[in-house]
Structure 1
Amino acid sequence: MRKSNHRKPRWGRIIPFALACMLALGLVIGLTVNALNDDGADAAGSTSPQASSASQAASKATAKLSSASTRNQTAKIKRTLTQYLKGVTQSGHVAVSFYNLAPVSGSAAAKAADAAVYQAGSLAVAENGDQRMVAASTFKLYITAWLFHELETGVKTWTAADEDGFQRMIVNSENDYAESLLQQSGAAALNHYFATLGTGYVFKTVGTATTTSNDLLTMLKAIERGTGPFADAALRQKLLTAMCKQVYRSGIPAAASAVANGSVVQDKVGWLGSTDNDAGIVTTPHGDRYLLVIMTDNGSYQDFSQVKAIAKQVQTIVYG
């Protein structure tokens, strides 16, 4: 018999070759899948120039709309407030100056959707603001400015007598300490100093002290900001604490609490004959803050009902 010409397969060579082919094929398939995935991700994540342009245009339109809405809301509030104040001051017996402060940082008011409406000063309104009226005891804010100035410049040293007199002057609205400071330095010196703060004169050689609601507002701004004679933090806090404790609270404090219970008011009142005045810094529980000065000369002695009514309406118009 003839021997077969077929040779037995050499499995030692075939098996490694097959495994190598399988590995190569797996590698090719893996690379292909990854490439397809990458292409899909790129397609999903990429933005065409046209889409990017449209997105930017939409963002600008939204911002423009938001800005326009803020301006419209601001204008509406300010217009309503102006109309109201024109009505209550048209007799010439009332003067009002209002200035909104920025909301307390981190407060609900600061986080509100309409916070931009309440940027400091955006809603400021004054009616008869430059009309000179009897200051009554609001002049003690000016006296305090002069006192702090003398302490700052080293002309005066704080004593126990000063502490007692100051507290009675602000908290109880007593006159003796304020009058003694005025007599020591004289009206001319004090008025000259007040001019450097941006206000008009307050005192005369003879006669009643007078001021304007705008000038009192200027003093409140300096107190609130801690500028000028109120730059010393300890003295400023002493004044604000005393203003918060002052005992005649039927004007702006009563109004603020009626609208938003828990409001904090640091104010100084004054009354003389038919004059009833109040100048205060108000902070609501929501975090809204504002300065308000109301001067009247057509009321009854120590009757702040008109002041309260005006202050209540002002806060309601501006803050709801």
Structure 2
Amino acid sequence: MKKVTADGTATVSFYDLGAKSGSTAAKSKVLNKFYKRGEFAASSRGHTAEIAASTYKLYIAAYTFHMIHENAFTFNDTSKSSFEQMIVDSLNDFADDHLETWGMSNVDAYLKKQGWYSPVFLESRPAQTTALSLTSALKDLHDGSGPYQNKSERKWLLSLMGKQIYRKGIPTGAKEAKAGTTVTDKVGFYDDENNDAGIVTLPNGEQYILVVMTHGHEQTGLSGFPRIAKIAKHVQQIVYSDSLTKGLK
């Protein structure tokens, strides 16, 4: 991680979630011994604020669920479709409309209350956040804690993230590291910023969170996502390679 972030154009955060309940890994005494949740966690430049691009939509989703629980918002067919497009296609309509309605300062205050980076939203600059803050939000999503305590809402959001269409970053790298690996993630791209934040599940049930935020390197459009894929592949191979896990006793 220090190597790939050394030039200051990337931030990376990794957190091992342990084994998925009922999985092959969960039934392995050896893997449970060495891969306890949180046993492996690392970041480089993880506290450095970067332009969030559309990864901030994870925060919009969290605040939306909060507003539902406060009886201050109810989905209709139009808003539900717009929310889905925000996650799957990374369209901006839902986020823009509701940030204006709810107010940036109110959303930021809620994010701060969750212990996440704040302020994400200011009129004077693009939305920004940190890799560690996105990691924390994904932990809550995985665990069903914080704003994600409603099981149906949590399941819905995870399913949308699993169907999001920009899959050349972490999903590609994770599958290259191990065939059959699945990823539920949210990407972001803005000018030369290419970001990806996801929950990764290996075929044996081991799970981890990875957030990679990149800029520079003459990136344009989506051209930085192969760089993210390379980082994801290397991280997964380092921590979960078959040669490593087979040697554990």
* TM-score class normalised by the smaller sequence: over 0.9
Partner of 1:215: 133
Which structure is higher in strand share?
Answer: 2
Amino acid at match of 1:89: T
For 2:147, the equivalent position in structure 1 comes to 229
1:257 deviates by 1.1
Specify which of 142, 158, 168 is matched with residue 85 of structure 2: 168
Which of 178, 198, 202 is the aligned partner of 1:280?
Answer: 198
Give me the whole-angstrom Cα distance separating, in 2, the residues matched to 1:231 and 1:119. 23
Q: Which residue of 2 aligns with 1:301?
A: 221
How many residues were matched structurally? 236
> What amino acid sits opposite 2:117 in the alignment?
G
- Give the alignment partner of residue 2 of structure 2, picking from 86, 91, 100: 86
1:245 pairs with 155, 163, 186, which one?
163
Instruction: Return 5+ residue gaps in structure 2 as ranges.
Output: 242-249
- Distance (whole Å) between structure 2 residues aligned to residue 177 and residue 206 of structure 1: 21
1:1-320 map, 5 Å: 85-112=1-28, 113-201=30-118, 202-298=120-216, 299-303=219-223, 304-320=225-241
State the structure with more CA Rg.
Answer: 1
C-alpha separation in 1, matches of 2:38 and 2:220: 32
Higher helix share: 1
AA matched with 1:161: T
| Residues 136-188 of structure 1: per-residue CA shift (max 9 Å, x gap) | 00010011111110001100112111211111000000011111010111111
Amino acid at match of 1:308: A
Identity, in percent, stands at: 40
Per the normalisation by structure 2, the TM-score is: 0.92
CA RMSD of aligned residues (A): 1.0
Q: Where does the alignment leave 5 or more consecutive residues of structure 1 unmatched?
A: 1-84
1:109-128 deviation per Cα after TM superposition (whole angstroms, max 9, x unaligned): 22332431110011000110
Return 157-166 or 106-115, whichever deviates more. Answer: 106-115
Length-normalised TM-score, structure 1: 0.72
SS in 2 for 1:102: strand
Moved more, 99-108 or 272-281: 99-108
Other-structure match for 1:40: none
